[in-house]
Amino acid sequence: MRAGRAGRGAPGVPDPVAGPPATPTGAFDLPGWHLIARVMRLRRTLPRSPPRLLDLGMGRGRDLIYFARRGFRVHGIDLDPVAVERARRRAGRRGVPLSLAVADLRSVRFRGRFDVVFSSSALNFLPAGVRRARFACYRAVTWPGGLHAVNAFVTPGGARPFPALGTGAVGFRPGELRGYYRGWEIVEQGAEEFVPPAALGGGRARLEVVVARRPVR
């Protein structure tokens, strides 16, 4: 991934037009920024306006706040109540409406449908054995014509622990993420090199990215 200039948007919120913010660590901000840029480029193609966006494992809400400030109706889930509370406060300070819930990627059910399902650096917390069923659930709550913009770290040779992301994170097999979108239009797919902070093990990691559209039938 490339380094970038400071963003033009709110502090701490990257702006796809200006480029990703430079951070001292090189950090986990960057994967999300790249996905945001992809969604923003495709915004006009979404089924409804304002679009409804779901962020799976939204952490402290950086990406959700970015979308909410640009008119998306946003919903986020995260397992960590502290992160959810931080996101709530962060949004409150900015006067941004967010709908948030403490919920588990592995079991959560959703009400209604979404124009965008977004997830950055969180799907690795799905154990390999539940992924197929969980992706089926995420696909089912997407409007026809809606998008998924997702990424996952890959561990060559199979689903292996990926501690650089956190305890319990497990890598995807190369190509696995793309495989959950058979029958959907693949709008973009790619792989990016990512350098985790040294404190988290350093080295290099490979991040696969998929932007896929649910067929309109």
Ligand X SMILES: C[S@@+](CC[C@H](N)C(=O)[O-])C[C@H]1O[C@@H](n2cnc3c(N)ncnc32)[C@H](O)[C@@H]1O
Segment 9 to 28, residues that bind ligand X, using CB under 6 A: 28
Which range, of 41-49, 98-106, 152-160, 187-195, touches ligand X by CB under 6 A? Answer: 98-106
Which range, of 1-9, 71-79, 88-96, 198-206, touches ligand X by CB under 6 A? Answer: 71-79
Examine residue 32 and tell whether it contacts ligand X (CB under 6 A): yes
- In whole angstroms, what is the distance from residue 154 CA to residue 156 CA? 6
Examine residue 122 and tell whether it contacts ligand X (CB under 6 A): yes
Is residue 195 within 8 A of residue 205, CB to CB? The reply is: yes
Which of 67, 125, 162, 184 binds ligand X (CB under 6 A)? It is 125
Answer left, alpha or beta for residue 39, where phi above 0 means left and psi between -120 and 50 means alpha: alpha
Examine residue 7 and tell whether it contacts ligand X (CB under 6 A): no
Of the two residues 20 and 59, which places its CB atom closer to ligand X in the complex? 59
Please, what is the end-to-end C-alpha distance for the chain in angstroms?
Answer: 37
Residue with tokens 């793309």: 178
Residue with tokens 């588990």: 104
- Which residues lie closer than 8 Å to 214 by C-beta, 6 or more apart? 139, 142, 143, 144, 145, 146, 147, 148, 184
- In whole angstroms, what is the distance from residue 93 CA to residue 106 CA? 31
The residues that bridge with 188 in the sheet, in sequence order, are 211
Minimum distance, C-beta of residue 105 to ligand X, in the bound complex (Å): 4
Which of 9, 27, 69, 80 binds ligand X (CB under 6 A)? It is 80
Minimum distance, C-beta of residue 96 to ligand X, in the bound complex (Å): 16
Segment 33 to 52, residues that bind ligand X, using CB under 6 A: none
Residue nearest to ligand X (CB): 59
Q: Which parts of this chain interact with ligand X (CB under 6 A)?
A: 28, 32, 57-59, 62-63, 77-80, 83, 104-106, 120-122, 125, 165
